[in-house]
Each structure stands twice: as structure tokens, then as C-alpha cells.
Structure 1
Amino acid sequence: MMRLLKLGTWRQSSVIGLSVLMSCTALAQMPTRPDTSPGQDPRRAGGAKITTDPNPPTNIRESDDTEQLADRYQPKGITLGKFLLLPKVEIDQTYNDNIYATQHNTKGDFITVVRPEATLRLKEPNYTWNTNVQAELNQYWKYTDDNNVQGRFLTDGLYEINRDLEVSGSYNFSALVEDRGADDAVQGKEPTKLWMNDGRLGGKVRQGRYTFGLDAGVTSYSYDNVPTTVGTIDNSDRDRTQFLVSGRASYEIFPGYAAVLAASVNQRDYDRATDRAGYNRDSKGYRIEGGIGVDLAETIRGDFLVGYLSQDYKDKRFQDPAGLAFKASFNWTPSRLTLVVPTLERSIQETTVLNASGMVRTSASVLVRHEYARNILLTGFGGIYYDDFKGLNRDSVLYELRGRVTYAFNENVFVSAELAHRTKDSELTARSFSQNFIGLRLGLQM
């Protein structure tokens, strides 16, 4: 971890993140604000979140299913004055039949994962604060070059100045490993290590039927070099910092339905003036959308927005992606035991694939979660992600399916089992692959 201190991007984003935390005593992570209704147990903060991330999950084992179990199966935690400490450890045993995400000559292996974490929460009448620290140790039984340690530190909070005005923010540091099947992944002897820092600050104000929100964030990415059998892959031309400012205004037409206008601007600056092919990848862009927001209490909540997006690259040899933008994401609860979360989005993603400017991703997914019994949760997920590389004939489609069952013995012990499948069809044949996963998990929590 100390290697990260040598990275300039870490220092830059850390200053921003600390400034966010010092500016507000209690700030909250904006994409997944930990709302709790009056009198709700703070252990259940978050509830059923709307999933709006257009990127497929990098870790197919990730899950917050246990947080959706009945209250009697939630951990009690350790009370420290006004704070609640929630320690937890998960042990996974997974089999991946294609760990290198290749089309031919596939290699399968068992992976043992140990994931300790601790969450510290504070819930007061007008503010909330959460800090989570997590580590993940991945041990491959045969192909040990892929052994890795990942980690995350996240602190967030929300301060409600009054019923019509709130301020929120977050800081997130993550030490990650890039998925072997990712479009930009380089195929070295070991997976690429990625260091990410993210700082965000936002606010929301309500005036009668109007609601206005403004958010700003800075995210930096730094990639380690990767050894190969003949040398080293230099990833320094992938290092970058991304700035994003977004605003949202809504007007309640009648109870439960609102007209929504959303807009954002971004700037993406790379550390190096040019990449290894001599292209300047710096860019700036915008997105503007309008549509309908729905909030029908315990039935359905979410947005459906349509508009326009554009990204302008400094290097004029690049093709600038632009065109239709849309975003739809809903929490639908057809019954008190079932949650359905459909999502649909078209967005411009960053890529460092040679000769491609940006990547336009069109994604569609649905998550279904059903409480079969108070201590048994069934989860199913399906997603399709179409990636259009601008300026390059390398389009790809990723299909993902997974199913999981979680069984809680009591508030301290749970187990889960999962089956999953991923297939990527790419115009670049070498990037096509198919993967199957099976996994078992034992969780211990207090």
C-alpha cells in the first residue's frame, strides 16, 4: 500500500477527498446515499438500492444480499457510544473455468477468497456518517501468478440542514485488480493493479414542488506496469484524472410523478501528453436529458430520461462520439417479498484501446431479489453490454447471468451459493471468451 504514496494522482485526489470531509461534518456518498426512514434500524441503511452503474461488475462474487434479510437476521453490531461497529468476514471458495478470459486453450482454477471488513456507522436525527474498510485476499490454487490483494476505504455522510436542504459527500480509495476480460486489460503474467481515488461533494434543495441538486466529483486512476515473459508492459499512458459536475432539477406534476431535467459536464485529463501510439487522449464532454421521475412509495421508484451526449477529444485524428443518450432505472416492488430492478443506459466510457477514441456503451440489465423465507434470499441477475469503439472495428457484446441463494442461520452466520456465466462476442476474435463460475460462501458477522 505504501507504493501508492509515491503516486501524484493519489496526493491530488486525497487532498480533494480530505477537503470534502473537512467541509462537512457528516457527508454522504451520493450515488448510494444511506437513507433510513424515521425509526429505522441504522444497520439496515441503504435498503434496496437502484443500480445505475453502466459498467458490468468487476467481481462476480460481490453481493449485498445479507443486508436485505429480515431484521432478526441482521447483525447486532458493537455499540460504541453513539457509533455502531459492524465487523464481518467472508470466506469464498470459487471455481472459474476460464481465469484468463481466452477463447482457446482455457485454464480453470479454484480460488480461495478471504474478505474481512468493518463498518462504523453513526445515525443522528439530522446527519448520518459511515466508514467502511475492506480487504480481499484472492489465492489461486494452481495459477499463483494471479494471486492478489485488493482493498477499499470508503467514508461518506449526509447532513440535513433542514427538511428542504441537505449536503452530502464521500471519499473512496480502492486498490483493485483489473478483470482479465475487460476491454482495456493487458494480458501480462499477472493481472493489472489499479489504484483509484474518488472524492465527491453535493447538495440538494427543495422549494415547494421543485427540487434542485448539484454534485461534483474528481476521480483519479493509476495503473501499475505488468510483467510479461519477454519484458514489461508500460501502463503509464492509462493514468488519468476525471472531473464531473452534474445537476438535476425536477418539478412534481402531481403526487408521485415529476418532470426531470438532468445535465452534466466532464473533463478527462491524462497524465501523459500522448499515449504509446502518439495520440492525445484528453477530452471534455457533456450530457443533457429530460424525462419522468416516479416515486410511488412502496411500489416503484426511478427515472426514465432521454437526451443527447457528446465527447470532444483534443486529438483531431480521433472520432468524437456523440448522439442519443438515455437512462432508465427503477426499483419495482410487486410484493413486499420481491424486488425487481430493471436498468437501461447509453453512455460514453473511457478506453485506451489502440486507435480508438472513446467507447459508447449501451447496457440493459435486470436484478430480481425474492425473500423465499425470512432467512432465505434468492437473487437473479441478467445483463447485456454492447460496446461500440469509435474509430475502430472492435465492437463487442458481453452477456452475463448469475443466480444466488443466501441462507442465514442466525444474525451471526450465513452461507450462500452462486452459479454465474459470462460470454463476450468481440469483432477482435482474440478478445472473445466464455466463463462459468460456481461459488460457495461462509459469512461471519457481529
Structure 2
Amino acid sequence: AVTIDSVDKQKLDPGQERTGSIDGQKVKPEEDPFAAPGMRIGTFVFRPTLEQGFTATSNADSSSTGKSAVLSETALRFTATSDWRENSALITGYGQFRNTVSGQKINDAQGRIEGHLNVDLDNELRAIAKLGYEAVPESASSPDAIAGVTQQPLRQTVDGSLGLEKDVGKMRYALTGAVSHDFYGDAELSNGTTVSQKDRDSTLYTATLRTGYQISPALTPFTEVEAGRRIYDLRVDTDGFERSSTRLGARAGLELDMGEKLSGEFSVGWLREAIDDSRLPAVAGPSINADLKWSPERGTIIGLTGKTNVETTTTAGESGDILYSGRLTGERQIRANLTANSALGLDWRDYTGSDGHDLILSAEAGLTWWLNRYAGLTTRVRTEKLTSNLPGRDYTANSVYLGLKVQR
């Protein structure tokens, strides 16, 4: 006898056709089918990337005395994005390790971890907090690089900032306080001895006030003033100079918000650091900053960044320099699983108290081919050239990289 229960227990016929959706609409394809899916850890979505490859280079340490080498490179990067109903947080980090396979001996590591927290308060008031830690060895091409060492000193940086933003009608106000502390390890000489770098340890305190007026949702011109104080742990360095300084700056710029097409900001102004020791001239010059992204069509992103940094020094009789850095980047999604990227770089270093200067030009092009959603092959070629009117600083470095990238 056929009962209601026995009908429910009957096996499904595998030959039956699957019933379609009631509305008959097609399933929307994923915008990026090869994007990292991520892992949920608590209230965060964690997306790690591991890259392993080999670099063949004509100048392993990018210096005037650098030699060719084949290097093994390992890079670990991650992002952790909050999934909160209100407010937001973002944690990013990377670690990079290089070791010589053949040629000039290189064994170094660097990395950074940084956190951002955005909190919406009452009455159109927002708070933005940042905290970061970075460890990077001194570059062999740095003006403060030490000759005849087996290992350049390690520079560690702890930085943080807290900002408040307030909208009043079309007016935009922002006040940000920031602290950055740099401390250096010892330099290891080829004869087995070490040279202390403690006289380079310093802390920079800054306060920045920005005022803007929203002409339209897409355009907001602004002005910005900055005041700060750089304090060295040693009031007088080993050569008898008082290196602490007072920092002042002013800028005017424009914020752009045109959705996915064009966004970011740029500004120009003046920056000055007056050193306490009257024997040393102030480090001063124009200030140029930019962070823009332009998407002329879907799948193409053009980026432009510019930074102005004051580089201090403890070299006897010298104040330091101003470094202007600019990058033009491009990324094009040729196919869903094939992405091309390129970059052009220009750096200009202007030494204070002399006519010395450095010009650094660089170019890079690369491809990433995703085998599936979790693994892909990546390659890039790069060239870099430094030209200086100071002796012993010129160099050229060319390199080719091939590696495997995995993500989750």
C-alpha cells in the first residue's frame, strides 16, 4: 500500500530535470572571479598572499659598488577588513625576505604592520586613528649609508596618529596629531666590530589643521597648516651638533571625489625644519603631495602619487636634504585571469647647504596569470638609475623576477 510516509522516503530520480528559478533571471556573474575569497576570523575578513620567486639582478644592493646576483625572494602580505554594522577597521601588513642563491651576498628582511580605525561620533564628527610598526634595513644608496659594512643598520619606526573631522554645512575641518619614533640598530663592519647609531634616534611630533570648502560633492579645495618638533634622544650628537629641530609647513590643495572615475587629492606648499644648532642651515623647500586614482574604463586603473620628505642626517656639518618622490602606475585587466601592471618613478633629492642633488629614474612592467582562484604565476622586469653630482653615488640596476603567488 502507498502511504504518505512511503512517498516521502522514495529516492529522487536522477534523470529528472532540475526545476529552474521562478523569476527566470540569469545568475549574475562575479565581477572578479579570481579575487581572493578571504577567510572569516571573528568579525574580520582575512586575505593573505604568499609569493615565492627568484630575481636575477645586475646590482644586488642598488649601490655604486653593487654586483650581479641571483636572489631568492619571499613576500607575505595580508589585509584584514572589519565586517561591522557601524564604524570600520583595516589591518594591513607585509614581510619581505631576500637571500642570495649566487653572486653578491644579500641577506635581509623588512616588514610593516599598520592598523586604521574609523569611528563615527555624534553631530557629523568622525575620529580616525592609525598605528604602525616598520623595520627596514638602511639602503646602500642612502646618503647615510656606511661604507665597508657587512650589514647596514636596521631602522625601526613606531608611528601613530589621531584625527578628528567635522562637517559644518559646506565647511570641512580636520585636526590631526601624529607621533613617529625612529631608532637604529648598530652597523656591522667587515672587520667584525660594530658602530653605534644611537645618535640618529629621534621622535617627530606634528599637528596638522585642515580647512576645506565643498564647492560640489566632487570638488573640495582646502588649506593646511602644520607645526611640529623633532627631538633627538641625544641632545648633542657625537660630533657636537644639536640636531633637534622645529617644523613648519603650509599647503593648499584640492580633494576630488568623482566616484570610480577619479578620486584623491593633491596639494602644493612650503615645508621648513629649522635646526637648533645655529651652525646648520634650515632644511626648507617646496612641498608637493598627491594621491590620485583615475579609471578611464572598467578594468583599468591609473594612479599618481607624490610625496615630500625631510631626510635628516648626523653627518658633521650637514643638515640633511629634501626628497621628492613621484610614481605613475597603471594596472590593466587584460582577461579575467590575466593582469598587466607598470610603473614609472622619479625621485629628486636636494641637499641643504650645497648644490648637491640626486636624480633617480625607474621603470617596471609585470604580468600576473592566475591558474585558478588560489594560485598564479607572476613576472616583472625593472630598471633603476641614480645620477648624482656627488662622487661615488651613481649606479644602474636591472632585474628580472619570476615567481608563484598563492592567495586565500
Shorter-chain TM-score: what band? 0.7 to 0.9
Q: Corresponding residue for 1:76?
A: 37
Aligned residue type for 1:388: D
Q: Match for 2:114: what amino acid? A: L
Q: Which residue of 2 aligns with 1:189?
A: 150
- Find the aligned partners of 1:70 and 1:233 in 2 and give their Cα distance: 54
* Kept after mapping to 1: 8 A contact 2:275/2:282: yes
Q: Distance in 2 between matches of 1:335 and 1:422?
A: 30
Deviation, 1:394, is 3.0
Partner residue, 1:225? 186
For residues 298 and 80 of structure 1, what CA distance do their matches in structure 2 show? 29
The answer on 1:332 being equivalent to 2:320 is no
Comparing both structures, which one devotes a greater share of its residues to strand? 2
CA RMSD after TM alignment: 2.4
| Residue-by-residue CA offset, 1:266-322 (whole Å, 9 max, x unaligned) | 211111223333222111111111233322223222334232222111011111133
Q: Do residues 296 (structure 1) and 265 (structure 2) align?
A: no
Matches within 5 A, 1:394-409: 394-409=356-371
Amino acid at match of 1:243: Y
Alignment of 1:415 onto 2:377: yes
Q: Which residue of 2 aligns with 1:18?
A: none
1:366 to 2:328 alignment: yes
Structure 1 residue corresponding to 2:221, chosen from 243, 259, 274: 259
Report the CA distance between 1:118 and its aligned residue. 4.7
**How much has 1:344 moved relative to structure 2?**
4.2
Change (3 A) 1:364 1:138: closer
Structure 2 CA distance, aligned partners of 1:388 and 1:341?
25
Equivalent residues of 1:70, 1:375 under 8 A apart: no
Bigger drift between 378-387 and 223-232 goes to 223-232
> Could you tell me the TM-score, scaled by structure 1's length?
0.78
Identity, in percent, stands at: 21
SS at match of 1:237: helix
Give the C-alpha shift of residue 84 in structure 1. Answer: 2.1
1:248 to 210, 231, 234: 210
Pick closer, same or farther for the CA change 1:306–1:87 going to 2, 3 Å. closer
* SS of match in other structure, 2:60: coil
Aligned partner (choices 67, 72, 78) of residue 112 of structure 1: 72
SS at structure 1 position matched to 2:296: strand
Does the CA-based 8 Å contact 2:60-2:69 persist in structure 1?
Answer: yes
Tell me how far apart the structure 2 counterparts of residues 136 and 204 of structure 1 sit (CA, whole Å).
35
Question: What is the Cα deviation at residue 145 of structure 1?
Answer: 5.2
Q: Residues 251-278 of structure 1, C-alpha deviation per residue, up to 9 Å, x if partnerless?
A: 0123422221112122111112233332
Of structures 1 and 2, the larger Rg is shown by: 2
- Asked if residue 98 in structure 1 is aligned to residue 59 in structure 2, the reply is yes
Looking at structure 2, the residues matched to 324 and 117 of structure 1 have their Cα atoms a distance apart, in angstroms, of 34
Q: Which has the higher contact order (CA 8 A, sep 6+)?
A: 1
Mind listing any 5+ residue stretches in structure 2 that lack a counterpart?
A: 1-29
Greater per-residue helix proportion: 1
CA distance in 1, matches of 2:283, 2:274: 8
Distance 2:112 2:326 in 1: 27
2:108 maps to: 148
Distance in 2 between the 1:435 and 1:83 partners?
A: 40
Of the three residues 233, 236, 255, the one matched with 1:271 is 233
State the alpha-carbon separation in 2 of the partners of residues 306 and 346 from structure 1.
10
- What is the TM-score when the length of structure 2 is the normalising length? 0.85
Post-superposition shift, 1:77?
Answer: 2.0
2:404 counterpart of 1:442: yes
- Aligned to 1:152, the other structure's residue is in SS state strand
Contact 1:153 1:172 in 2 (8 A): yes
Q: Secondary structure at the match of 2:199?
A: helix
Matched, 1:211 2:187: no
Query: Following the alignment from structure 1 to structure 2, what is the Cα–Cα distance between the partners of residues 148 and 102?
Result: 15
State how far apart, in whole Å, the 2-side matches of 1:301 and 1:142 are: 45
SS in 2 for 1:429: coil
Closer/same/farther in 2, CA of residues 88 and 390 from structure 1, 3 Å limit:
same
| Shift in CA distance, 303/136, structure 1 to aligned 2, threshold 3 Å | closer
Q: Return the letter of the residue paired with 2:132.
A: N
Whether the aligned pair in 2 keeps the contact of 1:355 and 1:392 (CA below 8 Å) is no
Gap regions ≥5 residues in structure 1: 1-68
Match of 2:344 among 363, 382, 392: 382
